[in-house]
Chains A and B, each alone.
Chain A
Amino acid sequence: MTAADRAGLSAMADRAGLSAGADRAGLSAGADGAGLSAGADGAGLSAGADGAGLSAGAAAAVAPLLRLDGVSKSYGTMTAVAPVDLSVAAGEFCAILGPSGCGKSTLLRIVAGLVAPSTGRIRIAGEDVTQLGAERRPTNMVFQSYGLFPHMTVAQNVGFGLSLRRLPPAEISARVAEALALVQLDGFGARMIDRLSGGQQQRVALARALILRPKVLLLDEPLSALDLKLRHQMQEEIRRIHAETGGTFLFVTHDQGEAFALASRVVVMNGGRIEQQGTPEEVYRRPATRFVAGFVGEASYLSGRRSGGVVALGAGPRFAAPGPDAGVTAMIRPERLRIAPGGLPARVADVQFLGPTTLVLARLPGGEVLRAALGDPQPGLSAGDEVRLAWDPSDVWVLDD
């Protein structure tokens, strides 16, 4: 099945989005998940198999700046990265998202040249760099633990790459000042590294990597050592720096919120493979696999069966959703559920006030649990109450089991 077929299919599925009249629960067909999950099954998605998303066309239009073909890494019998194809366009901010041990950091280190791949080729701006070591690649990395040089000042750290290239001292200090200004550390040049806070060290690491104007900037969980507030602040900083420099950023993280906030494209990895790639919205709303659905956010899962293009959920609702006859799971994000008179009846099991939303866990008569994040305050709602939960047809996503 080609991308075009899938695009057609999902469009068809959208058109078929009609209320399943009988139960009046406001259910309707989601788009078809079958095509996407089939594509994600194999050795990972290539650029062409980007799904029906908006980014696919944009990424395919220009030759990719960074291209990985069949890149894998095994240590003995242990496979860290299964053969992966990945393309990143110039100027793109791409996040590799996955749980720890999924191979995302190894993949980044392969791009950096710090780890030699077992198979495959890496091309940057058309040039095959597979055989080049890290010191000769047009990439620079911001490390998770920064890797700053403790025996040097801030300015010496930032200027290290330039001084290796034997640039005149005047030019080095001018460019160091420029790089420090970019990360808002003007005037910190003479400080020693151990006199800086964690956030400031992070900025030095960024400046030190950016000063060489890498073709691809690699960021390996750079914010994970920072506290929450500082992390949000640095996320904004990194977005601003990406916009100001117009560079190509490849960012590795295990935090889906961080990936969504920063990246224009998210690549979800699991067990050494790419499960899905697309815009944050695609990955969130139309996950290719149950793993992706669960990793990028919370959801309610209702099991059912599809026959003849109609899905019948165990909980009752039926709706049209083209695809092969098989067991399916319908996924609904918590914030898409609402309390409405025509909804499915369920009994409240727990109510948690989370600040912006109130999370309501409600059990359906069949035993399945709906997770509803309700925006409006829910005074008086407590465990044991009966509620009716409804959702829009377009908010259901069907995953083949």
Chain B
Amino acid sequence: MTERVGRAWLLLGPALAVLAALFALPAILLFAVSFWEVRSFRLSPALSLAAWAGIWRDYAGLAAYTVGIGLAVSALTTMLGLAFALAVRFAVRQGDRLMIAVLITLFGGYLVKIYAWKSILGADGLLNQALIALGLTGAPLQALIYSRGAVIVALVHFLLPFAILPLYAGLRNVSDTAIEAARDLGASRAAILWRVVLPQVRGGLFAAIAFTFLLAAGDYVTPMLLGGPGGTMLGQFVLLEFSTNFDWPAGAALSYALLGSCLAVLAVLAAVVFGAGRQP
């Protein structure tokens, strides 16, 4: 028994040590910093709520907007991913090859995808050239890039594999016989989806929603490069507070505020996903 426990710790130990040293410890430190003070560019330990009060005053609206963008991206990505995963699981013969293709797109760098969208949506980008060539517009549309829409499109593109993979993993566990049985008992396609398939992939569905929501709401590079003035998100201001403003307490408080709101939203989403359709 003790030998087994020892072996388990041996296996867990290295990863736990890395996580503790490089994630847990800095996270705790960061939380502490949010109560510190900055005086004449010097960070000093304190027990002050000034940073928290300040970010509530300055950033409440932007936080709501950021969570909103996260939800929109998550909803879009999860729906597209669900459609894709359903097709791969039930409608396509060589589904596994498609899944390998999905995995490969994950290897393409994150920044590469953003710059790809820059060259597609830019003033002399592919899309504008195509629109002009087709005679649909005389001058390039400036609003394509540096907008909320550009941020959402790029994030959906980047996050799609994060939705597809857990959904597909969940769908693989749904037995074909159960689906045939539902059909045999009179279930329409819609009834099979809502009452037999989706309830069995609640875990994968929540993972897809959570991944895409957290990564979208926490992103700051995409809005920085594609968002323009109208598409800024909270993450950019975390960066701003830490760098330009040298206000570490504000940056730390802002990080935790964003984290807290995201977890609260996830708790609600979890209640919806795991509670919906359950009969007493």
Contacts and interface: CB of A to CB of B under 8 A. Distances in A.
Interface in B166-200: 175, 177-188, 191, 195-196, 199-200
Given A151-B199, A151-B200, A140 B178 contact: no
B206 to A, nearest CB: 14
B244 interface: no
A164 B196 contact: no
Contacts of B178: 147-150
Interface residues of A, number: 28
Contacts of A151: 199-200
B279 interface: yes
Contacts of B188: 135
A50 to B, nearest CB: 29
Interface in A124-148: 133-136, 139-141, 143-148
Contact of B185 (A144, A150, A156, A212): A212
A160 B182 contact: yes
Given A134-B180, A147-B180, A149-B196, A160 B175 contact: no
Interface in A192-236: 205, 208-209, 212
Contact of B177 (A135, A146, A164): A146
A148 B279 CA distance: 17
Contacts of A148: 178, 181
A143 B180 CA distance: 9
B171 to A, nearest CB: 14
A114 B182 contact: no
A343 B178 CA distance: 58
B184 A141 contact: yes
Given A134-B183, A165-B186, A145 B175 contact: yes
Taking each of A161, A205, A209, which has the highest tally of chain B beta carbons within 10 Å of its own beta carbon? A161
Taking each of A146, A149, A150, which has the highest tally of chain B beta carbons within 10 Å of its own beta carbon? A149
A281 to B, nearest CB: 33
A147 B192 CA distance: 13
Main secondary structure of the interface of A (DSSP, over half): mixed
A135 B187 CA distance: 6
Taking each of B188, B195, B199, B200, which has the highest tally of chain A beta carbons within 10 Å of its own beta carbon? B195
Contact of B184 (A114, A144, A145): A114
A112 interface: yes
Nearest to A208: B185
Taking each of B185, B186, B187, which has the highest tally of chain A beta carbons within 10 Å of its own beta carbon? B185
A149 B186 contact: no
Interface string A81-100: 00000000000000000000
A221 to B, nearest CB: 12
Contacts of B196: 149
A134 B195 CA distance: 17
A149 B182 contact: yes
Contact of A133 (B177, B182, B183, B195): B183
B177 A140 contact: no
Contacts of A209: 184-185
Given A145-B177, A147-B177, A150-B200, A112 B184 contact: yes
Nearest to B199: A151
A144 B182 CA distance: 15
B222 to A, nearest CB: 37
Nearest to B192: A135
Contacts of B187: 135, 160, 164
Nearest to B200: A151
A141 B186 CA distance: 11
A141 B181 contact: yes
Contacts of A144: 177
Nearest to B189: A135
A212 B186 contact: yes
Contact of B183 (A135, A149, A150): A135
A135 B279 contact: no
Contacts of A139: 184
B183 A164 contact: no
A139 B200 CA distance: 26
Contacts of B186: 135-136, 161, 164-165, 212
A134 B199 CA distance: 22
Interface in A4-24: none
Contacts of A141: 180-181, 184
A218 to B, nearest CB: 8
Contacts of A160: 182, 185, 187, 195
Given A143-B180, A146-B181, 14 more contacts: A113-B184, A135-B183, A135-B186, A135-B188, A140-B184, A141-B184, A147-B175, A149-B181, A151-B199, A160-B182, A160-B185, A164-B187, A212-B185, A212-B186
22 contacts: A112-B184, A113-B184, A114-B180, A114-B183, A134-B183, A135-B187, A140-B184, A141-B180, A147-B177, A147-B181, A149-B178, A149-B181, A149-B200, A156-B279, A160-B182, A160-B195, A164-B185, A164-B186, A209-B184, A209-B185, A212-B185, A212-B186
Interface of B: 175, 177-188, 191, 195-196, 199-200, 279
